[in-house]
Amino acid sequence: MKIAVLLAQNHQVTAVDVAKERVDMINALKCPIVDAELETFLSDKPLKLRATLDAEAAYSDAEFVIIATPTDYDTDTNYFDTSSVEAVIDQVSAVNPAATIVIKSTIPVGFVQRLRAERGINTLMFSPEFLREGQALYDNLHPSRIIVGSQSEAEAIKLFANTYLAMRVAFFNELDSYAMAGGMEARQIIAGTGHDPRIGNHYNNPFFGYGGYCLPKDTKQLLANYSEVPQNLIRAIVDANHTRKDFLADQIIAKAPNVVGIYRLVMKAGSDNFRRSSIQGIMKRIKAKGIKVVVFEPVLQQDDFFGSAVVRDLETFKQVSDVIVANRLTDEIRDVESKIFTRDLSGTD
């Protein structure tokens, strides 16, 4: 979506999707995700952009086809499910074999080389996306780096970059768990640690775990790519996320609440995306102990989220919850501070 908008400033772009509502929204110049800059571009800029469900027609006269379909981690194969990417590659090859295909979806190391050999396509390459949730267009307009590759190095760069970010979050999360267990001030330890410029005082606010769509799946995929290579750290980064959530859920359960309120499912303030957010792991563990859980999440349309009631009115939510679990603190819940369980120490992401 963000690549389509970016390129449509200067080039004719056709956005293909299998979801009709997304196609309709783009054609109505409405943004299908929460992203301030993307919304402004769609409403204010003259863009050469249209969206369609007709993949064949769109691919047949394109010079470049850019693929950004999902690659979920498949727990049965312990590998990314790349079927949607492969389906698009096959569609393009059938109608327009001369088109250059650029994969932006995150893929396993070795994917492009394998596909090039298996399908006999030499116009296939990978250019990883490096962006933050809710700031996708901004990060595309001001990229930290642009990487394009047809060898496996580009795929490895993407997975190592995200695994490093997960490691950093997991490190400060474990520092925080240690401080909690020993009755120490995590905030002080984090500040003092970060004053070393090699460490830095950035990206160090504890979370319930690292989460969002990408970090959990990309770390697992990198671990799978290590199957023939000795390692300790990559496995530890994957495992640390479960340990952190177990520890925090136990702390909440120890308060013996009758009702636990989950305040926002999203990973970050300013996002509408709660895929694989870490608070859901906490929620699952609390529910498994038979404790009633209610959810406050304005982004949700439905009244029920995995068997828990979605409470629309914030005041009611505050009243019925004995403990309010919040991955990030906001002003709208500060009046019930005594009920809040959070590890948000600095109000940053």
| Closer by beta carbon to ligand NAD, 190 or else 265 | 265
- Residue choice 9, 11, 12, 19 for contact with ligand NAD (CB under 6 A): 19
Query: Per CB under 6 A, does 52 bind ligand NAD?
Result: no
CB-based contacts of 157, cutoff 8 Å, min separation 6: 128, 147, 149
Catalytic residue among 89, 124, 214, 340: 214
Taking the CB of residue 291, how many other CB atoms lie within 10 A of it?
18
Amino acid 312 reads R
| Closer by beta carbon to ligand NAD, 65 or else 333 | 65
| Closer by beta carbon to ligand NAD, 84 or else 251 | 84
| Stretch 94-133: interaction string toward ligand NAD, x if CB under 6 A | ----------xxx----------------------x-x-x
d(CA 348, CA 328): 8
d(CA 252, CA 330): 20
- Residue choice 22, 168, 287, 292 for contact with ligand NAD (CB under 6 A): 22
Q: Which stretch binds ligand NAD (CB under 6 A): 83-91, 187-195, 291-299, 300-308?
A: 83-91
CB-based contacts of 64, cutoff 8 Å, min separation 6: 99, 100, 101, 102
- Answer for the pair 140, 6: CB distance below 8 angstroms, yes or no: yes
| Closer by beta carbon to ligand NAD, 87 or else 102 | 87
214 labelled catalytic: yes
- Pairing assessment for the beta strands 323-326 and 304-305 based on DSSP bridges: unpaired
DSSP collapsed to 3 states, 270-308:
CCCCCCCCHHHHHHHHHHHCCCEEEEECCCCCCCEECCE
d(CA 58, CA 48): 14
3-state secondary structure of 258: coil
Query: Per CB under 6 A, does 221 bind ligand NAD?
Result: no
- Count of residues touching ligand NAD (by CB under 6 A): 21
Interface with ligand NAD in residues 62-81 (CB under 6 A): 68-71
In the complex, least distance from residue 56 CB atom to ligand NAD, rounded to whole angstroms: 11
Q: What tokens were used for 166?
A: 């997960």
- Residue choice 7, 87, 253, 300 for contact with ligand NAD (CB under 6 A): 87
In the complex, least distance from residue 349 CB atom to ligand NAD, rounded to whole angstroms: 13
In the complex, least distance from residue 286 CB atom to ligand NAD, rounded to whole angstroms: 27
Interface with ligand NAD in residues 139-178 (CB under 6 A): none
- Answer for the pair 31, 25: CB distance below 8 angstroms, yes or no: yes
- Residue choice 4, 16, 26, 101 for contact with ligand NAD (CB under 6 A): 16
d(CA 299, CA 274): 9
| Closer by beta carbon to ligand NAD, 34 or else 314 | 34
Give the residue numbers annotated as catalytic, written as ranges.
Answer: 214
Residues that bind ligand NAD (CB under 6 A): 16-19, 22, 68-71, 84, 87-88, 104-106, 129, 131, 133, 136, 213-214
